[in-house]
Structure 1
Amino acid sequence: MGKLHLYTDSLFDTLRDRQDDLADCAVLSLIKHPDWIKLINSWQTIPDDSPSDFDTDLVRFFEFYKQKETSTEPGTLKNGQRFFAENGQLYTAMLGLYSLPYCYAFADGAEVLVRSKRIIDSIGERLGETGSFVMEIFKPGAFTSERSAFLVCAKVRLIHAFSRYFISHYAKDWDNAYGKPVNQEDMLGTNLAFSQIVLRGLLKLGISLTEAQHQAILAYWKWIGELIGIDVNIWPETSKEAFELDKLIRKRHIRASEAGQKLIGALLNYYRKTIPDPILIDQIEGIVAFFLGKDASKALNLTSNRLIQGDLLGLVLKLNGQKNRRTKNTYVNLKRNLDQQQIQQFGRLMIIKLPEIARS
């Protein structure tokens, strides 16, 4: 039996109250022991044996990843990594032009994002960290010969738990009507934005995708989803299921919000300052609106008076990404280009780090 029967309002109402107990308990341990945060940030991979002073909750958290190392699916991983190696340039472009703005249009989830000052005040660094996460999880050999990807996923999962902790303890303006912060439904929606929505963006650019390719990316993000704390029993297996799941979440949550409009404003301003191509800068709001479609664009108060052709936009994005390159678009070339951009802009490579807390 497929997953379509699961995509109901009644079930998804319960998901708004579910979070991630394993990570939340681990973060309580880290709050009590800030030195452990610094230690984890110094790791290159998850060690075979947890430090002897780690408590039970933190040991249990990292044991989950040690168990996953023995249950990898090489075929699933290779298929996803191959797709990214062939399409990584446009894949990463869709994350910035479609996936992130799409998340901002979901009013309740945007309430979590807007409460992170770094997303508004240091949006370039946050985008750089997102790019680093995606490059790490799609690295050839990730999760098999490259074990560092497990640590990156563990850090992202803990960062989500830190967000839940700080909002629940310090955000006095949090409205319970938003649901619990970083809940299972919102995490499912974000995972869809990094997979299904990216593929939809490629289709809007006139790129043909087979059902096998679609399922390969869904399977890859099912694997990632489990590693970052998502209940993958609900995750779609086919393009039809992914379409219906996204349709349900859109119906439930796309609406105008001050939080979403503040987030998209910060993102567009950042693009206007940093995108080197004058054609893209001049039309950036219209390009984002083109991908988002009518409902999400309206929620974010985006307008476009220009008719944008997807195939021509795809050509511009490809040419823009190929500047200063003489070789074929591969993972190595894309990674080198993104690293150079980060060093030029920030003076360093952006990496995923847990928030370090001063000992009181």
Structure 2
Amino acid sequence: MYTSSPSRLVPFEATQKSDWIAQVLNKLCDQPVQPTAQDYSALQQALSKGDGPMEAVIEWVMQNPKQHRQYFETALFKGLDALPENIPELDSFFRHVETKPSWVDDDKINRAIDFTYRLGINNGLVLRDVSLMAGYMFPGFNQPLILTGALKQQVGTRLAETTKWWIDITERNGLERYNHGFSSTIYVRFIHALVRHQLKKSERWDADTWGVPINQFDLAMTNIAFSSVVLLGIRGLGIFPNKAEVDDYLHFWRYVGWLMGVEEQWQVKKESEGWRFMYWLQFSHPKSDASSAALGASLSKEPFEREYRYLRSLQQKLAYRQHLEITQFFIGKKRMQSLGLPNRPAAWFAYYLIARNVVLYTGAKRIPKLKHFLENNGRQMQKMGLALYKNQSKKLASMHK
């Protein structure tokens, strides 16, 4: 009935079983969360499919890596007109990404950026301690990191790279052509395709198990980690966005996903779609393994790489405990063990954030000055996060030539 698929994907029959989570989601979503036969086929194909438009560019780049990569970067940072000649592969790709889809609404994007600023440190905490840390429980995401030597790299460097990209795309007009958010996103997309190209040729990559490296479904789920997971996480921390804020936020990340190469069928247009795709994670990833514990333990110790200005040792230890408590609050003590993390007596920092956020964000709905303060102060706090990785962040200039 179905074409062959990587062994990481369970048989179709196993996806049809119902549990209490499915029963709850079935009441909240527009359609059953269990995949239909058509959904399952699409999931099979997504696990075996990369990013066609960028892969065409990579194939051309690899014909003359040094010179052609320079041409790609010239087109990215200066435009097609700066190239010495017309290059069909670059012309086709850049004319595509430079043309916004008809559905993009700039007003929604601007409102989403305002909302992002109001979230302040809560956004970063959810991304780090829930989206990223909990993501390590799904080994399919971990394989490219393991095989490209990410464990040998300082985790602070990886966080600095991600934080810098996130800051860039959430700047005012950051996603406009030639601004840092746009160029950073296309540059990351290029690196994804380059890693995909190299791993597919490597004898160490087990395609029968994992499918294509950094495939369509994993790309989509990474985008959902920045959107749907954050919306769930901030609610857990006492911030309750209204429908318009949710719609704007998802719209922003839909466009980011489009720029990153996520195909339309995997772009989340409403929150229930994100919940449905998240439910499917259990079908496309085996249980946590050694890579989960290795990456989880590495991330947990990241605070000890931070360059705090005052009382460095004390602040590092405090941040270490606070991040563990947030992760434990969301995933529980049992899953902490699967990530190689020590259990905390209680999630005190999460409880503090809930109390603080309920007061502040409930008040901001009624007090315009407080809302304005949260936006201004929140953005300052978000940028301060990158400053914790001073040495690492200085190395990111290549993304912004």
TM-score (normalised: structure 1):
0.83
CA contact under 8 A between 2:98 and 2:177: conserved in structure 1?
no
Query: Which one of the candidate residues 271, 274, 297 is aligned to 2:303?
Result: 271
1:342 pairs with 2:389: yes
CA contact under 8 A between 2:297 and 2:341: conserved in structure 1?
no
CA contact under 8 A between 1:95 and 1:194: conserved in structure 2?
yes
Partner of 1:320: none
Return the letter of the residue paired with 2:394.
Answer: R
Partner of 1:240: 272
1:311 pairs with 2:381: no
CA contact under 8 A between 1:45 and 1:151: conserved in structure 2?
yes
CA contact under 8 A between 1:254 and 1:299: conserved in structure 2?
no
**For residues 75 and 226 of structure 2, what CA distance do their matches in structure 1 show?**
26
CA contact under 8 A between 2:133 and 2:327: conserved in structure 1?
yes
Offset of 1:143 from its aligned partner? 2.8
Q: Greater shift after overlay, 54-63 or 3-12?
A: 3-12
**For residues 19 and 336 of structure 1, what CA distance do their matches in structure 2 show?**
32
1:15 pairs with 2:54: no
CA contact under 8 A between 1:156 and 1:352: conserved in structure 2?
no
Any idea what SS the aligned residue of 2:141 has? helix
Query: Which one of the candidate residues 320, 335, 348 is aligned to 1:281?
Result: 320
**For residues 375 and 110 of structure 2, what CA distance do their matches in structure 1 show?**
18
Residues 336, 127 of structure 1: CA spacing in aligned structure 2 closer, same or farther, 3 A cutoff? closer
Q: How far does the alpha carbon of each residue in 1:117-144 deviate from its partner, in whole angstroms, 9 at most, with x for none?
A: 2454232112111011111111112234
Partner of 1:25: 56
Return the letter of the residue paired with 1:179.
Answer: G
Offset of 1:9 from its aligned partner? 3.1
Partner of 1:97: 129
Any idea what SS the aligned residue of 2:239 has? coil
Q: Greater shift after overlay, 278-287 or 95-104?
A: 278-287
CA contact under 8 A between 2:328 and 2:347: conserved in structure 1?
no
CA contact under 8 A between 2:328 and 2:336: conserved in structure 1?
yes
Offset of 1:332 from its aligned partner? 5.4
Offset of 1:349 from its aligned partner? 5.7
Alignment of 1:124-273 (within 5 A): 124-144=156-176, 147-253=179-285, 255-273=287-305
Any idea what SS the aligned residue of 1:142 has? coil
Residues 76, 293 of structure 1: CA spacing in aligned structure 2 closer, same or farther, 3 A cutoff? farther
TM-score (normalised: structure 2):
0.75
Offset of 1:147 from its aligned partner? 3.4
User: How many matched pairs?
Assistant: 345
Offset of 1:113 from its aligned partner? 1.8
Partner of 2:138: 106
Q: How far does the alpha carbon of each residue in 1:323-357 deviate from its partner, in whole angstroms, 9 at most, with x for none?
A: xxxx86537524652453333x4472634649xxx
1:62 pairs with 2:94: yes
Offset of 1:250 from its aligned partner? 3.6
Return the letter of the residue paired with 1:15.
Answer: A
Q: How far does the alpha carbon of each residue in 1:291-318 deviate from its partner, in whole angstroms, 9 at most, with x for none?
A: 334675454244524221533145789x
Query: Which one of the candidate residues 272, 290, 298 is aligned to 2:329?
Result: 290
Q: Greater shift after overlay, 288-297 or 180-189?
A: 288-297
**For residues 339 and 191 of structure 2, what CA distance do their matches in structure 1 show?**
26
Any idea what SS the aligned residue of 2:279 has? helix
Offset of 1:254 from its aligned partner? 5.8
Q: Greater shift after overlay, 203-212 or 267-276?
A: 267-276
Structure with more contact order per residue of length (Cα contacts < 8 Å, sep ≥ 6)? 1
Query: Please, which runs of 5 or more residues in structure 2 have no aligned partner?
Result: 1-28, 309-314, 358-372
Residues 105, 278 of structure 1: CA spacing in aligned structure 2 closer, same or farther, 3 A cutoff? same
Q: Greater shift after overlay, 234-243 or 277-286?
A: 277-286
Offset of 1:247 from its aligned partner? 1.3
Residues 299, 56 of structure 1: CA spacing in aligned structure 2 closer, same or farther, 3 A cutoff? farther
